[in-house]
Amino acid sequence: MSMFCYQCQETVKNEGCTVKGVCGKEDNVANLQDLLVYLLKGVSFYSTKAREKGIVDKEVDEFVMESLFTTITNVNFNAEDFIERINKAIDLRERMKNKIDTDEVNEDIPEMAIWTPSDEKDIYEKSQNVGVLDTENEDIRSLRELLTYGVKGMAAYTDHAYVLEKEDEDIPGFIQEALVATIDDSLDVNDLVDYVMKCGELGVNAMALLDEANTEAYGNPEPTEIELGVRNNPAILVSGHDLKDLEELLGQTKDTGVDVYTHGEMLPAHAYPAFKKYDHFVGNYGNSWWKQKEEFQKFNGPILMTTNCLVPPQNSYKDRVYTTGVVGFKGVNHIPNRENGEPKDFSEIIEHAKNCDSPQELETGQIRGGFAHESVLNVSDKVVEAVKEGKIKEFFVMAGCDGRQKNREYYTKFARNLPENTVILTAGCAKYRYNKLDLGDIDGIPRVIDAGQCNDSYSLIVIAQKLAEAFELDDINDLPISYNIAWYEQKSVLILLALLYLGVKDIKLGPTLPAFVSENVLNVLVDKFNIQPNTEVEKDMEEMLA
């Protein structure tokens, strides 16, 4: 095999991509990502030692988080970006090494803490010899990868918060500690399970941090009718998750005659009060991330990719794709990061838009969003009353990710066939499987309560906790809430670990179980939390409603 990757749900045969990623990344990029993670463990080896002495390097913290973010599925496909990060990782590793007395290190120093390439060829050769399969014991490997993917998700959420200057030193500290744990051969299965649960705990903190960052910057999301049609002006389409990028783009496109639309996970931005003042912020265009090849072609204008969810662009519109931040793809335009506190410069993409046709209309109408925790808690009395009166029998948490596979039609069918006295709680792009169905409402409470991006899954945790308080329940599992979660990438892995940390049981997970979870590790999760794969709509619904 020329590579090995099984971190996403669509990995080949649910076993692993060995020639080229289903996501589109080439084998050399996959290997460079492995090498970058390998070296981040070396950086973390020294930075955790330094932390024990009270030495914290903010640049290292941010670099480790941002670099982990680049290795998440559908973020960065550009080998040159990873070469640059690998070289910087080595520089930062040496800097952290010089901050401690290595004579005081009692254990053997691991190879990733000392290996240094002689040239770029050496980097490529080394990248082919590190990675997932270095760990021979299947169960240890499974838990190490589960922990690694969890901290990748945590790094992504925390990086968003740091962009908005909301920081928590404990989170990058744990990320680095967890990376070191994955190379510690003295840790057994039980030790690693403890780390995985700790990852869930810190994951809740990371999501809370991001929620605080977003709401302080842009206000609490409000119930909003989001337009699906188009206007006749030239326009820019924004995808990904980064609200700071959107804010700066909206400010720079004001009074230029260029409209701005959202795509995919950026849809929930329309519910933030801070963005409603822009009358050129038109609405949402299209659907989930995996439909972008067709929809980007029809948009006609330039597309700004702010975070993950990039599909390798087709040549017919590749010249209209712009990346920024952690996103990268060879041959597309990249907008540089902020410097000296100044906003990013979006003038190039704005001028490009002015010379493009207006978007081709895909659909018309409106879609409801903006039901984050504050919006729901403002009507909590109404919700509790509806439950007590039997008008709402059950809530179904159907958060998570969408994907290309045909078996994800399961979620559309599940939503369509739910009894009329049930309500869906959702966040993430999984909602695109059912958020345009006409499911109606219950006494004014929408039957699809959309809390926002996958980044906003914290809202679902808050809603569940507040409902438990309202019903005076000690155990969150006693609530009339069932969990039918769809996963795809590593941020959803962290959401799952957060739910497990909170003690949530009986989760249905699909459309397939993760390939990186070994049979023995799965048995542990089943025994402790009763995690189950989803099967058939009728069977699963009957079990969950019972």
CA-closest candidate to residue 427, choices 210, 151, 279: 210
Average pLDDT in the 72-89 region? Answer: 98
What is the CATH topology of the domain spanning 1-134?
Substrate Binding Domain Of Dnak; Chain:A; Domain 2 (1.20.1270)
pLDDT of residue 16: 98
Residue 483 has pLDDT above 80, yes or no: yes
Collapsed DSSP state (helix, strand, coil) of residue 335: strand
Q: pLDDT tens digit string along 381-391? A: 999 999 999 99
pLDDT of residue 103: 79
3-class secondary structure per residue, 356-378? CCCCCCCCCCEEEECCCHHHHHC
pLDDT of residue 227: 98
Q: pLDDT tens digit string along 279-321? A: 999 999 999 999 999 999 999 999 999 999 999 999 999 999 9
Using CA atoms, how far apart are residues 162 and 433, in angstroms rounded to an integer? 31
Q: How confident is the model at residue 106 (pLDDT cuts 50, 70, 90)?
A: confident
Q: pLDDT tens digit string along 430-460? A: 999 999 999 999 999 999 999 999 989 999 9
Q: pLDDT tens digit string along 188-241? A: 999 999 999 999 999 999 999 999 999 999 999 999 999 999 999 999 999 999
Average pLDDT in the 74-79 region? Answer: 98
Average pLDDT in the 42-58 region? Answer: 96
The rounded percent of the chain whose pLDDT value lies above 90 is 98
Using CA atoms, how far apart are residues 233 and 20, in angstroms rounded to an integer? 39
Residues comprising the chain, all counted:
546
What are the φ/ψ torsions at residue 262 (nearest 5 degrees)?
-105, 160
Cα 274 from chain centre: 23
pLDDT of residue 97: 95
Average pLDDT in the 156-185 region? Answer: 97
Domain boundaries of the chain, sorted by first residue: 1-134, 224-354
Collapsed DSSP state (helix, strand, coil) of residue 224: strand
Residue 531 has pLDDT above 80, yes or no: yes
The rounded percent of the chain whose pLDDT value lies above 70 is 100
Residues 6+ apart with CB under 8 A from 307: 69, 75, 156, 160, 240, 241, 242, 325, 326, 327
Average pLDDT in the 485-498 region? Answer: 96
27: left (phi over 0), alpha (psi -120 to 50) or beta: alpha
Q: pLDDT tens digit string along 242-289? A: 999 999 999 999 999 999 999 999 999 999 999 999 999 999 999 999
Helix, strand counts (H, E) of the chain: 17, 16
Name the H helices within 418-480: 458-470
Cis, peptide link before residue 511, omega less than 30° from 0: yes
Average pLDDT in the 45-60 region? Answer: 96
pTM higher than 0.85 = yes
Q: Which residue has the tokens 């949402």?
A: 284
Q: In Å, what is the CA distance from 501 to each residue of 462, 490, 496, 506, 524? A: 14, 17, 9, 13, 14
pLDDT of residue 358: 98
Residue 105 has pLDDT above 90, yes or no: no
Q: In Å, what is the CA distance from 536 to each residue of 295, 407, 409, 508? A: 31, 10, 11, 11
CATH architecture of 224-354: 3-Layer(aba) Sandwich (3.40)
CA-closest candidate to residue 501, choices 196, 192, 168, 176: 196
Q: How confident is the model at residue 101 (pLDDT cuts 50, 70, 90)?
A: confident
